[in-house]
Structure 1
């Protein structure tokens, strides 16, 4: 009896598969061995790949997102008018037998021809440009933090216990003292005179903490780390100038966005790592066309900057629903069901910069009191712990942000968040009313005018 051959419908008849490599790319225009050809990675080789695909009548191309080697080829293919599907590598690893570049290229072409590959999310050109600036700024911030830790290490080795008398070693008092130490001033009394008036410790206590061993090797290391820290701060400022100029250029080119104005958010505190040179509250409101993301409690300037640079206003529309968006962020439970039984509902592994930013915002929400989101956080935290509550609140934030940007639904929580001054006024009114009820007095008795 002859074996039956199972055939599947061809979804993409004129397609090709490309196996991306660091030194060469393998292009498969069919399933025969002669249909696979190897190309280099230089600019001329990329153009040759496009000409080779055009010669074979290819209209759609699939390839893996391998490292950063795919980016130049992707840009060249899009420039030549090909429909490019950038697939996640984990969806193309079920090939049978030994793994080779030729087999990978043929396997990718086969999966793409029957429509089993889905493309990854890619931001638009404007968002990608802004993302480059923001990620570079974050890289410099990480290096600055590393230099800060090394400065603290050398201060401890010198027995300068600045970390005991100053809350932030890289604050105004700490940096002024470190700068003077690097200049050669080791007199504790003279160094203590740099105390800022907001510092809680007295000048005498600071001077007592700055009596060290004055070893020259540790002083040399401290000086070098301080110079590195100043260098990183200079590079951060340069990145912030580019980010501010780019956002202003995008807003000024649109007359409608330029006219939009939002309310000040004085309660949103600016720390020393917040972006400078631009009002991000106003810029984000204009950039998203009147969507005020800053009204959400827990969302700070760093989170807003991550949303702008990682997804952008046009990127949200690429996700059909809020569930698709949360699934892309790896914040939605991955339910595995077999035989009608739920085997697992763990959140899948993996994270990106936006997921980390939303989780940090969710963690900040957990420290708030009497807000809609903090009450949700506390309910989940009571039942399943803080780690699960952070993920659940981050997912809730993602759903709120998607609905605000895509559906233009303003954020209106059931219970409004009251700040400290508002709580004090409300408490005073309640106490006055309680006293009036106690002594059976009305507004007219006290001379209050009611409208």
Structure 2
């Protein structure tokens, strides 16, 4: 009996669910997009277009052609998977064109049962979206996204600055220029003056010592001996 019961449970668990029998479509004018690096696959309802599955390139002009096609069909909402960073350009273009864009976790459509083996990814995304089964990922406003980009860029530049100053310090040591023995902060005003002077071809200890200022703890004589 136990084996029989196990088989029955297994049979029920593997049964495919027909969405059209179980649910009612809540949105008709929607599109699904399967995003890749070089090409994007799109799907809309067959009653909106005879050729309801189309491919578009990933260049900016291609993305605008996709948006034009959606506009011609009266599409109101577009669902797409969050695939790497490839979705960002299309998301911004569709958002600017007035579409309601739903970005979903790429794992979610794959975990919903009822998909037929011959259905393409874009068609499945379109189907799930039409039934309201795709939860949207949180996307900050455009202003916040731009601000985040600036912050990340600043962090990257700061990191690169530290690396470059380490390279400068190592290069000075290889040339036996002991600037770090005299000036603790070579990124400071005096340190940069000395480095710029050396880079400009000034190798005279007398001339470099003239750059000494009163705020420096090291004496003028110590600055004299950095080279």
TM-score, normalised by the number of residues in structure 2: 0.69
Residue matched to 1:175: 192
The Cα offsets for residues 1-48 of structure 1, whole Å up to 9 and x where unpaired, read as 9977644545643232211223211012259xx743211234443343
Q: Is 1:200 the counterpart of 2:221 in the alignment? A: no
Q: Summarize the Cα distance change of 1:187–1:12 in structure 2 as closer, same or farther, 3 Å threshold.
A: farther
Q: Is 1:60 the counterpart of 2:77 in the alignment? A: yes
Structure possessing the higher relative contact order (Cα contacts under 8 Å, 6 or more residues apart): 2
Tell me the CA shift for residue 86 of structure 1: 2.0
Tell me the CA shift for residue 139 of structure 1: 4.3
The Cα offsets for residues 152-196 of structure 1, whole Å up to 9 and x where unpaired, read as 110111121222322211111211111111222223343233233
Q: Is 1:17 the counterpart of 2:32 in the alignment? A: yes
Residue matched to 2:133: 115
Tell me the CA shift for residue 110 of structure 1: 4.1
The Cα offsets for residues 57-105 of structure 1, whole Å up to 9 and x where unpaired, read as 5322111233443333223323443211123445456489xxxxx7432
Residue matched to 1:156: 173
Is the 8 Å Cα contact of residues 41 and 56 (structure 2) preserved in structure 1?
yes
Work out the CA distance in 1 between the residues paired with 2:209 and 2:86. 53
Is the 8 Å Cα contact of residues 109 and 134 (structure 2) preserved in structure 1?
no
Pairwise mapping of residues 260-299 of structure 1 onto structure 2 (< 5 A)?
none
Is the 8 Å Cα contact of residues 79 and 101 (structure 2) preserved in structure 1?
yes
Residue matched to 1:106: 123
Gaps of 5+ in 1: 97-101, 212-451
Is the 8 Å Cα contact of residues 10 and 115 (structure 1) preserved in structure 2?
no
Work out the CA distance in 1 between the residues paired with 2:97 and 2:207. 68
Pairwise mapping of residues 70-81 of structure 1 onto structure 2 (< 5 A)?
70-81=87-98
Is the helix fraction higher in 1 or 2?
1
Residue matched to 1:27: 42
Gaps of 5+ in 2: 1-7, 114-118
Work out the CA distance in 2 between the residues paired with 1:199 and 1:49. 63
Residue matched to 1:38: 55
Tell me the CA shift for residue 130 of structure 1: 4.8
Q: Tell me, what secondary structure is at the counterpart of 2:185?
A: coil
Is the strand fraction higher in 1 or 2?
2
Work out the CA distance in 1 between the residues paired with 2:219 and 2:110. 64
Question: Quick one: which of 182, 199, 220 aligns to 1:165?
Answer: 182
Tell me the CA shift for residue 151 of structure 1: 1.0
Residue matched to 1:404: none
Work out the CA distance in 2 between the residues paired with 1:118 and 1:145. 39
Is the 8 Å Cα contact of residues 27 and 38 (structure 1) preserved in structure 2?
yes
Q: Tell me, what secondary structure is at the counterpart of 1:50?
A: helix
Work out the CA distance in 2 between the residues paired with 1:181 and 1:38. 58
Q: Summarize the Cα distance change of 1:93–1:207 in structure 2 as closer, same or farther, 3 Å threshold.
A: farther
Q: Tell me, what secondary structure is at the counterpart of 2:42?
A: strand
Question: Quick one: which of 163, 168, 180 aligns to 1:146?
Answer: 163
Work out the CA distance in 1 between the residues paired with 2:83 and 2:154. 24
**What's the RMSD between the two structures over aligned residues?**
3.5
Work out the CA distance in 2 between the residues paired with 1:207 and 1:11. 82
